[in-house]
Structure 1
Amino acid sequence: MKHLSDDDIAQELEKLVNAFQPTSMQKEKVRRLVFHPPNPKKRFRINSLLPSIVSLIVLLWVGIGLYVNIGGSDTTNVTASWDGMLLEQSSLTSPTRYVLEFKGASLTIKDDFLGSSFISNKVDREAYLRGYKIKEPLLIPGTYENYTMTQNGSTYTLKVEGETGFTYNLVKKGPRILVGEDGVEYSTRIYLDTLEDITDDITPERLEIAPQNEHTFLIEWGSDAMDRGDHDFYTQEHGKLVVSTDFDELQRGQAVYYHMPSSVIAKNPAVPEMYIGRVVGLPGETVEIKGGQVYIDGKKLDTFYGKATMHGLGEEEYFNMVSSKVIVNEQATREYFNMNMAAVTVEENTVFILVDQWWRGSDSREYGPLPIGEIEGIITGTAE
């Protein structure tokens, strides 16, 4: 073993001290820990947030209230449009069969079901009502004056003034379906909210002379199914018709030349194999006739070909202009002008066809939507 002198031991101790001497960076870190201790972690306490949460809820309720009373209040007076409206109870959930008739400034409520059996002392009223979901409907039969009808979204509010006045809310559940606030369901004979009528400013009411080219051919037509009072489409009156095969997509209002479905000819061999009709319903649409008026997807088809006519005349025009001696059966004629047809959905690659004079021709009312492939061309006018 090497013997170390005092100087040697002192040198070795100095080396040992230097090895454990902290660096300047370590010294600075210690100084910060001593003189600038870190902030303690804050504990989350729900109580500290309660005032903020309450304030937020209050602001939300105020905002909703302002929207409902100001921004969301889009109430419109629609009383005038309800003149002539008839509501008939369609649900069987109450001991009533209400009929509401709006006429002028008066409202008449009738109950076509309330009879002697209901009010008889021999009948156990509670047992009688047990079978109905709605035991006490709100409306009371009678005639009421000075009513108003307002609309806010899908809700209609009926308000009757006077001593016997009342307020009754109806919610629209379909184009012709309303449900009262007591749960009673009603149906109407005409569509609600038909302000957005479908119009046609392109289709001419009378045929004009049309040019001919390599995509056209001529046909003769002798039926009055398309007669609008001027023997429209009638070859002997206006000449041959020009049919164009140059079309990509059919448009509403176009008169088309097509193959009549064999099912129609089988029933009536006198019907021509090739026929003319007008495109009324397009693929994807729903067509319905109510009271002699065509509706497309619930919207009124406000066109010259959108309603029942005779020689181009509507019901009132017809009875005013035609002598009663000529009219064989007035009731049947009026029923024609007010005919109904259940809603029909027009499938893809088909169209709904109507002749202009419904009582004199065959169309989609009989054979349904027509496949587009059966159409040979569109009538563009008459030949020169």
Structure 2
Amino acid sequence: MTRYTDDELNRELENLRKPFEPTPARKRAMRQAVFSAKQPSPAKRILHWQPLLVSFILLIGIISATTVLIGKPGASVNGWFAKDVTDSWSGMIMEQTSRNDVISYYIVFQENNLHIENTNVSETFMGNVNITQAEAEKMAEEHQAKLAKLTMQPGDYPDYTVKKKNDLYTITIPGENGFSYTLEKTAPRQFTGEDGITYSVNNYTE
């Protein structure tokens, strides 16, 4: 067995290492690859305030739309923003002041009853001696047909409400034969109905 001195042993190890040692060019390439490697981009920060901002914008939109709808002329008085003034209207008498060939309203607001009366006596056919019986009956039918188209029908209604929003007042009768009729207050004791009929009242209203 051949014995090696220390120097000979080091030379042999050096010779064995050389095939595995990278060339200078390869060392430069590896160094560039390490230092020029793309750094990982920081994770995007989740903005938790975005859902809150969207909800706030939607809330503002809803409030704006509601305000516009409520403020529209002729908008329904019934709803969250209407005030029930039924009790303060008890004892009120409302009488039609405009002329109408079909109806002349006389309305009495009582504590537990709303009385609507038609005081119009049509002189166009009743007691007219210049028309035949058939003509009178035809005119009476036409008169009744016009009456049937009116929103407020004469009668007594034990259950009713009056609601106010600004200068608009809505009378509501519930039930199958009920109706809603809106009045606009044009003066302290003057009103105009949704159909253009004008009224006066005996007392100042809330």
TM class by smaller structure: 0.5 to 0.7
Q: After TM superposition, where is structure 1 displaced by more than 6 Å over at least 4 residues in a row? A: 69-72
Q: Deviations along 1:259-284, whole A, 9 cap, x unmatched? A: xxxxxxxxxxxxxxxxxxxxxxxxxx
2:164–2:170 contact (8 Å) kept in structure 1? yes
Q: 1:162 & 1:147 partners in 2: Cα distance?
A: 10
**1:86 aligned residue:** 93
User: Which residue of the other structure, out of 165, 169, 179, is the alignment partner of 2:192?
Assistant: 179
Instruction: Report 1:250-261 matches (<5 A).
Output: none
Q: 2:205 & 2:174 partners in 1: Cα distance?
A: 24
**Alpha-carbon deviation of 1:114?**
4.1
Q: 2:125 & 2:151 partners in 1: Cα distance?
A: 17
Is 1:161 the counterpart of 2:165 in the alignment? Answer: no
**Alpha-carbon deviation of 1:192?**
2.0
Is 1:111 the counterpart of 2:111 in the alignment? Answer: no
Q: Give the SS at the match of 1:74.
A: coil
RMSD: 3.7
Q: Give the SS at the match of 1:110.
A: strand
**2:65 aligned residue:** 65
More helix by share: 2
User: Which residue of the other structure, out of 75, 79, 104, is the alignment partner of 1:97?
Assistant: 104
Unaligned runs of 5+ in 1: 1-58, 194-384
More strand by share: 1
Q: 1:61 & 1:85 partners in 2: Cα distance?
A: 41
Q: RCO (CA 8 Å, sep 6+): is it higher in 1 or 2?
A: 2
Q: 1:135 & 1:165 partners in 2: Cα distance?
A: 13
Change (3 A) 1:167 1:71: closer
**Alpha-carbon deviation of 1:60?**
9.8
**2:183 aligned residue:** 170
**TM-score using structure 1 length:** 0.30
1:74–1:153 contact (8 Å) kept in structure 2? no
Amino acid at match of 2:98: S
Q: 2:164 & 2:111 partners in 1: Cα distance?
A: 18
Which of the pair has more CA radius of gyration? 2
Q: Give the SS at the match of 1:88.
A: strand
**Alpha-carbon deviation of 1:137?**
3.4
Q: Give the SS at the match of 1:151.
A: strand
Q: Deviations along 1:318-355, whole A, 9 cap, x unmatched? A: xxxxxxxxxxxxxxxxxxxxxxxxxxxxxxxxxxxxxx
Q: Give the SS at the match of 1:149.
A: strand
Identity of aligned residues (%): 32
2:107–2:114 contact (8 Å) kept in structure 1? yes
Q: 1:151 & 1:60 partners in 2: Cα distance?
A: 26
Q: 1:118 & 1:172 partners in 2: Cα distance?
A: 35
Instruction: Report 1:314-353 matches (<5 A).
Output: none
1:145–1:161 contact (8 Å) kept in structure 2? no
Q: 2:108 & 2:172 partners in 1: Cα distance?
A: 14
Instruction: Report 1:10-25 matches (<5 A).
Output: none
2:115–2:157 contact (8 Å) kept in structure 1? yes
Amino acid at match of 1:158: I
**TM-score using structure 2 length:** 0.53
Unaligned runs of 5+ in 2: 1-58, 73-79, 127-132
Q: 1:103 & 1:180 partners in 2: Cα distance?
A: 20
**1:339 aligned residue:** none
**1:319 aligned residue:** none
**Alpha-carbon deviation of 1:138?**
2.1
**Alpha-carbon deviation of 1:66?**
2.3
Q: Deviations along 1:14-51, whole A, 9 cap, x unmatched? A: xxxxxxxxxxxxxxxxxxxxxxxxxxxxxxxxxxxxxx
Question: Once structures 1 and 2 are overlaid, which stretch shifts more, 63-72 or 172-181?
Answer: 63-72
